[in-house]
Amino acid sequence: MRAKICWWALLLCSISMTSYAYADEQEAIHWLVVDSQPLFIVDNGRLAGGAIGILLLHLVQQMPEVQHVVEVSNNNRGFNDILQGKLRCTGGLVKKTQRESLLHFSQPVLPFLPNGLAYSTSSSALIERHDHNGHFDAAALLMEPKLRIGLIDGRSNGELLDSLLTQAGMKSRLMAFTKTNDAEKLLHMVSLKRLDIAIVNPTEIGRVQKLGQLEDNLHFLPLMAQNNEQYLYFGCTKGEWGARYIARINELLKNSPLLAEASAIYAEYLPRRLVDLYRQRVETFLALNR
């Protein structure tokens, strides 16, 4: 069930909106939020922070003239609303060609490390077979006979992986979880050899590592992304309404200290060996946004 929350001018002061009906949906911004750390941190149905969450809370604070409704949902349900033409905004999006027909996108708001492959030591030979002098052939790996693949349903894994995973014959190999925070289960299944690989984000590896729950036999292979997939964005439903609010979002997020704070939250969840790489990218990103 979706949790609906309304913010007024105060940053973290909220009241339930379940009994309030709007006469005109355009008088409100309905924000779609996925309970997925570190992008959004949700506590008892309330948005409490996160790398994208603090940006959203800032937007709410800076637009007191608008009523804000935050709906905690999953990827599939949220995009179904947008497909139906409902007026929605959301954050933490990867920018994809097929999404641009549905959404207006903001300027980039957060450097992002793309999803990759988690695998166990027992699958190392399989992975190495498709590594050609540093160039990894993901297409050849995914076509391996009887390969068992775990992923989070409804999530974009980048245009390369998304196109490969929709090929004929691939569905029978996939084990899909619907909850974004089920990545820990996928990693555990890889460790137990119930899956050969899991497609996850490096922050999910880092979060489990931080909790001391990452099995020693697990490894992560980051995959290169297209330029437009190296950042996260806000998006609003295509049309005059969405274009107007995206323009406002762009204006309000010209805030280097806030963007730096969001990036620092994201970095806390990365595997240790990727932190320096990410910080270098953040420095470049912030230099372009001064």
Q: Tell me: do 99 and 122 sit in the same domain.
A: no
Pick the range with the lowest mean pLDDT from 156-170, 194-208, 219-233.
Answer: 219-233
Does 129 share its domain with 108? no
> Same domain, yes or no, for 236 and 189?
no
Same domain, 188 and 253: no
How would you classify residue 26: left for phi > 0, otherwise alpha for psi between -120 and 50, otherwise beta?
alpha
Which run of H or of E encompasses 222?
strand 218-222
Q: How many domains does the chain have?
A: 2
Structure tokens at 237: 């439903």
Which of 177, 195, 222 represents a domain boundary (last residue)?
222
- Domain boundary residue, one of 222, 256, 272: 222
Cα separation of the two ends of the chain: 41
Q: Report the chain's mean pLDDT, rounded to a whole number.
A: 83
The reply to whether 159 and 178 lie within a common domain is yes
Residue 145 and residue 60 in one domain: no
Pairing outcome for strands 135-136 and 41-43: unpaired
Q: What is the distance between the alpha carbons of residues 280 and 263, in angstroms, rounded to a whole number?
A: 11
Do 126 and 216 belong together in one domain? Answer: yes
CATH of the domain at 202: 3.40.190.10
Same domain, 107 and 121: no
Residue 202: phi and psi, rounded to 5, are: -60, -25
Per-residue pLDDT of 247-270, as tens digits, reads 999 999 999 999 999 999 999 999
180/261 same-domain check = no
Residues 102, 7 within the same domain: yes
Comparing 159 with 286, which gets the higher pLDDT?
A: 286
- What domain range is 218 assigned to? 116-222
Of residues 100 and 217, the one with the higher pLDDT is 100
Q: Where a domain ends, among 222, 245, 271?
A: 222
State the CB neighbour count (10 A cutoff) for residue 167.
Answer: 11
pTM as predicted: 0.81
